[in-house]
Structures are given as C-alpha cells and as structure tokens.
C-alpha cells in the first residue's frame, strides 16, 4: 500500500516535471528569461509588479530593467511550477525516509531532493549571470535529468516486470548494451538541443534540406562550441557570430540523423527478438515518439520556429527520453516464464499491464 501510494505521487511529480520543462521552453522562446531581473521574486515582489506604486518601486530598485509584465509573467509562472515540483519531491524524500524500513526506494528520492536544490541554484544563476549559455544549457539538462529520475522511480514503484519465455530474455539481454548506447546518443542530442537553444541557433538555418542554400555552409565550430565564453554580457538574443550559430544548428541536424538511423535499426531488432506484450509495446511507443520528434524538428525549420511547435519539440524531446527509459526498464526486468506458450505469456503480460 505504501509502495503504491509513493508510486502515485511519483507519477504526479513526473507529470508536473513535464509541465515545468514545457514552461521553461515557453519562457525561453518568448525571450522572457530575464523578465524578472532578480531571484526568486520579481523586482523584489512575490508576483510581477502591476500597480503604479509597485512599478515605481520596482524601477527604482532596478533602473536598468524596466518592468514588462508580458515578460515577467512567463518567468514567474515557470518559477511557481518549479517551486511546486520541488515541494512534491521533498515530500517524496521525507516519505521515503519515514518509511525506510518498508522496502521503499531511499537513495533515489534523496538524490532527487539534492538535484532540486541544484536546479534552484541554476535557476538563480540563469538570471544573475544574464542567460550565460553554459548555465542555461545545464539548467535545461538538469530539468531533463530530474524528469528522467522521477519517471524511473515511478516505473520502479508501479510497473511490474514483463514475463517472457527464456529464449526471448536471452535475445533481449544481448541488446542491452546497444540500448544503453542509444540512450547516451539521445542524451547527447538533447545536450546539443540545449546548446542550440541557449545560443539562439534554432533559426540559423531556415530551409530544408540545405542550410542557407548550401549543403555545407560556412561554419565556425570553434566559436560555436566555445564553452569558455566569459561571464558579463547580457546573452539575451545570443552573442555568437552567424557562422558559429550555423555550426551548432548543422551539428544538431546531423545528430538527429544519427539518432534516427541508430534507433530505427535497434527498435526493429527489439521487435524481432521480443514477444507480443509490454516490451513490444514499449518499443512501439519509442518509435512513435522518435518519428514525431523528427517531424516537429523539421516543422520548426520549415515554419520558422512557431511557438507552439517549438514548445512541443522541447516537450517531446523529454517524452522520447522517457519512452527509452521505459523500454530499458522493460528489457532489463524481464522474468522467465518456463514451460509456457507464447500465447500464455502474452495473456499474463496483458493482465500485468492492466
């Protein structure tokens, strides 16, 4: 009972983390990352200043940052959602500590609580360091990490192991290293996406399949991937040269092609070596997320980064990672079903899924 209760709250936290990731993308895409020049409040208030008196006080406190409510509210809504997520995660950690003798996960909730504290620090540095790309990218990756660990905890608490025949277990176990390698590829691609967003390189190429009318346009990889950019300038809108941004964009495109080719082959192998049931369902879900994410990436370029599609692209990037973690969980936690037919194993799997 305690396990299921903690699992349900983990699932709530996972869904809330998805919302936080989407709100973070929305805030970034509407250029509201510096909508409030301080942290954790906004011009020293708990909400965006609205009355004439509040605006006067705010602009006296920050004379170089005029109040713009259209920029302040996206930032504060994101902070409210992130703060709520933090409270839920701390609650999960406290619950795990209080019931540590009941066999509940303990290390993972405590790790998540520490990660939330680190994410709060990154949120503060994002503002105080004026959208320094290194911090912005790490903040985004921290959000994806938080989401992934919450999903993993939900799977541990709520998802029963798949039961398959021994020969299927043996076939899938040989694919585990390739599945973990594929997850690393997806994480690298997400990191490239974070670097693309942090340096405002998403619109560096505005046509497909070429970039600026060329298959290999002028690019400055040294400048584009310079992680020693000094702290100080306001990075809103980016500080890189056009060639540097093109280098980032083209690298992200090439990474998408590598991920698509790798996972298309790997999912076909998983499908071939598995039986009807949860493992195949997880593979099918991963394939759908992969194709949808590629389609959204193409739409972003073709339609010149419309807000709704850009936010969906960020959200589905997280969704793709979650489906891969789910697939790995299913493959890694298969149980042998000795002496049963494929039809019997399939029936058991369906009952377990329900």
* CA nearest neighbour of 164 among 323, 352, 29, 354: 352
Q: What are the two backbone dihedrals, phi and then psi, of residue 78, each rounded to the nearest 5 degrees? A: -60, -40
Q: Region of 254 please: left (phi>0), alpha (psi -120 to 50) or beta.
A: alpha
Q: For residues 275 and 209, what is the distance between their CA atoms, to the nearest angstrom? A: 38
> Which burial class, exposed, middle or buried, applies to 290 when counting CB atoms under 10 A from its CB (0-12, 13-18, 19+)?
buried
Q: For residues 333 and 176, what is the distance between their CA atoms, to the nearest angstrom? A: 11
Q: What are the two backbone dihedrals, phi and then psi, of residue 338, each rounded to the nearest 5 degrees? A: -75, 135
Q: Region of 226 please: left (phi>0), alpha (psi -120 to 50) or beta.
A: beta
Task: Please indicate whether residue 243 is annotated as part of the active site.
Answer: no
Q: Find the catalytic residue in 75, 167, 207, 343.
A: 75
* CA nearest neighbour of 278 among 320, 318, 316, 328: 328
Q: What are the two backbone dihedrals, phi and then psi, of residue 268, each rounded to the nearest 5 degrees? A: -65, -40
The DSSP output letter for 34 is: T
Q: For residues 125 and 36, what is the distance between their CA atoms, to the nearest angstrom? A: 13
Active-site residue list: 75
């Amino acid at each position: 009972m305690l396990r299921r209760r903690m699992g349900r709250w983990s699932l709530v936290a996972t869904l809330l983390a998805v919302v936080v990731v989407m709100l973070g993308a929305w805030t970034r895409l509407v250029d509201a990352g510096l909508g409030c020049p301080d942290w954790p409040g906004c011009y020293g208030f708990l909400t965006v200043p609205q009355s004439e008196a509040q605006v006067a006080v705010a602009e006296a406190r920050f004379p170089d940052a005029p109040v713009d409510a259209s920029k302040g509210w996206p930032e504060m809504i994101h902070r409210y959602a992130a703060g709520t997520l933090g409270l839920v995660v701390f609650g999960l950690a406290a619950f795990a500590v209080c019931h540590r003798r009941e066999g509940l996960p303990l290390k993972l909730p405590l790790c998540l609580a520490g990660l939330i504290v680190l994410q709060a620090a990154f949120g503060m540095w994002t503002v105080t360091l004026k959208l320094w790309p290194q911090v912005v990218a790490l903040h985004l990756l921290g959000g994806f990490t938080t989401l992934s660990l919450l999903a993993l905890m939900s799977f541990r608490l709520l998802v029963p192991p798949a039961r398959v025949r021994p020969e299927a277990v043996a076939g899938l176990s040989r694919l585990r290293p390739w599945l973990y390698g594929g997850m690393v590829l997806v994480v690298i691609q997400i990191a490239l996406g974070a670097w693309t967003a942090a340096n405002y390189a998403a619109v560096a190429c505005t046509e497909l399949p070429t970039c600026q009318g060329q298959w290999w346009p002028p690019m400055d990889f040294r400048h584009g991937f310079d992680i020693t950019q000094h702290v100080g300038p306001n990075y809103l809108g980016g500080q890189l040269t056009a060639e540097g941004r093109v280098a980032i964009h083209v690298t992200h495109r090439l990474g998408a092609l590598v991920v698509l080719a790798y996972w298309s082959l790997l999912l076909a192998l998983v499908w071939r070596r598995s039986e009807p049931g949860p493992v195949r369902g997880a593979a099918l879900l991963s394939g759908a997320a992969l194709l949808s994410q590629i389609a959204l990436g193409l739409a972003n370029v073709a339609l010149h980064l419309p807000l709704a599609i850009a936010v969906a692209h960020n959200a589905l990037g997280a969704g793709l990672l979650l489906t891969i973690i789910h697939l790995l969980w299913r493959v890694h936690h298969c149980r042998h079903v000795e002496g049963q037919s494929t039809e019997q194993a399939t029936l058991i799997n369906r009952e377990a899924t329900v």
